[in-house]
Structure 1
């Protein structure tokens, strides 16, 4: 509730005319925030909402991430993946899902590819191919830059999004009120997915359109990007040359 409330308050402060772009897990909260603002006829509801590689309906084409979420009870995640921040760091004793565990989980899904990339990095350095080496190093500098997640946010996300599917099943509530995406009429909706996404599979994000039947055809769009995985939806060459122009044009068309 707090995260959704934060988005609503943020848009309220910005005022009418904003456009929202959500990537990965925040897609659910962004769609919910837009829905509750539409339900309340909020004047600052966004003009457009772009959802990129987000688990709107995690039942569709389940990935290893989805299978893990449904194979264990929520108590297992709390017991095995939640830790307290050490006393010598800011936020001492706060319970979090540590960033290093998130990185380890991401890398384990494509371990051979990451090992190969690091072998190539050292080979490029040995050959004094600085341009190629720096490109690989820059990618991993960003890939490894993962923040801790608060335990409450992580556990609620696992339970509500990946185990109970509350949004697509119509059971999700915000501040005691049922969330109704069908209330969205004036906000344009664009969804973007990656053909090779093995974290948020094809079909999980575009499912948002089924939940928002009252958005007119002229105010909705979907783009399936060929040849990219999860990270490539919002980073890299195809993002810059193919996906971003679509996003930019969609926002301009609905401004």
Structure 2
């Protein structure tokens, strides 16, 4: 997190050519200090250590933990769902994984398409957990481009669609596809290609959650950021080269730490207040609240790099040219007709307080997919939730998830 804060405070309005190398050097520079701070904090937290009972030790432990977390690098989190996972298909940039289940072979199958937007697929841990008891769940587990050798070739938006075509057809029909935010566009591209090629027997329903189908509607700060700059600006300022010490050395990427910085900048005061509260919780001995903070930020601060080609193409085709709602999107040079999609049922979900995907942007798919009968369409606006509340939290568990399950059941 300290690296993100430094990036926010020192690079606004400037261009640092060797930014990735500088960030990597900073992370390595901080690592020994982080180890020392962590060791001190653990020593003072040990009830068998005399330091645990020193005057002011609780304050000292709180300060040490805050510093430890500020200087840490956050790895890919574990799923921690109490079930094993297995790789069904493995591609260069993504694995299709299945959560092992004791359910019968005819249990409904769900393909969750996790966003390729900087966070790991584990961001959907709570989403997956809601479907595990009564569904066979599969998910796209995207790989960190930093660790993908440049020799395998690049990754483009069309490749994304190819992956989804392969993944959806590797699962026994019928499949319910759930796209969380960013993948809403490539999922519709996949469905259109399947329909146009007569391959649409597999997918029974499509659920789009907070997806940027038409960002011309109720544009957010994120949308304006993309629309008010040309591709050359993004290529010069945020596309970086992976340093030599990683397996993906030489890859052109949109670094995860830059994406995280952007996320944090949108709600910087809120993030700072949460860390002050965390400090108070540690001092006051509120272990439950402190643990919730740890769990959230262990996930939120764990980021991955995106392939530059895919990132730039998504900006251009989705956020700048708006090709999908104009029905001008292409795949492998072939025009895609959204009205060709007729078989799957369609559900769209939006959050009233979503500051990433604006009001109406996801619902736009309802009109765009004119070939689907109106009786097989459903839109749900969830009041009182923001972007993350669409797929996580109490209202997701109590309201949204049950509605999705009912919709899936009625679509077969």
Q: Which interval holds the TM-score relative to the shorter structure?
A: over 0.9
Using the alignment, how far apart are the partners of 2:202 and 2:368 within structure 1? 17
- Residue 120 of structure 1 is matched in structure 2 by 277
1:70 and 2:227 correspond: yes
Q: Which runs of 5+ in 1 are unaligned?
A: none
Alignment of 1:206-221 (within 5 A): 206-221=363-378
Cα shift at 1:43: 4.5
Q: Tell me which residue corresponds to 1:42.
A: 199
Q: How does 1:71-220 map to 2 (within 5 A)?
A: 71-220=228-377
Structure 2 contact 191–200 (Cα < 8 Å) conserved = no
Q: Give 1:193 shift.
A: 0.6
Q: Note if contact 1:34-1:45 (Cα within 8 Å) is conserved in structure 2.
A: no
How far did residue 242 of structure 1 move? 1.4
**Contact 1:57–1:207 under 8 Å retained in 2:** yes
Deviation of 1:172 after TM superposition, in Å, equals 0.8
User: Could you report, residue by residue, the CA deviation over 1:17-74 in whole angstroms, capped at 9, with x for unpaired residues?
Assistant: 1110001111000011011111122144410000000100010001111111111110
User: Secondary structure of 2:324's partner?
Assistant: helix
Q: Choose from 223, 247, 255 the match for 2:404.
A: 247
Match of 2:384 in 1: 227
1:190 is paired with a residue whose SS is strand
Q: So what's the TM-score if we normalise by structure 1?
A: 0.97
Q: Per-residue deviation at 1:14?
A: 1.9
* Distance of 1:133 and 1:140 partners within structure 2: 11
Q: Which residue of 2 aligns with 1:33?
A: 190
After TM superposition, what 4+ stretches of structure 1 lie above 3 angstroms from structure 2?
none
2:200–2:343 Cα contact (<8 Å) kept = no
Shift of 1:9: 1.4
Q: Is the 8 A contact 2:260 2:301 kept in 1?
A: yes
CA distance in 1 between counterparts of 2:200 and 2:324 reads 24
Give TM-score scaled by structure 2 length. 0.61
**Is the CA contact (8 Å cut-off) linking 1:58 and 1:162 kept in structure 2?**
yes
Secondary structure, in 3 states, of the residue corresponding to 2:253?
A: strand
Instruction: Specify the alignment match of 1:2 in structure 2.
Output: 159
User: Which structure has the bigger radius of gyration?
Assistant: 2
Contact kept, 8 Å, 1:18 with 1:44, in 2: the verdict is: no
Which protein has greater RCO, CA pairs closer than 8 Å, 6+ apart?
1
1:55 aligns with 2:212: yes
Number of residue pairs matched by the alignment: 255
TM-superposition CA deviations, 1:81-105 (whole Å, max 9, x none)? 1111111122112111111111110
Q: Kindly state the Cα deviation for residue 177 of structure 1 after the two structures are TM-superposed.
A: 1.6
Equivalent residue number for residue 74 of structure 2: none
Q: What value does the CA root-mean-square deviation take over the aligned residues?
A: 1.1
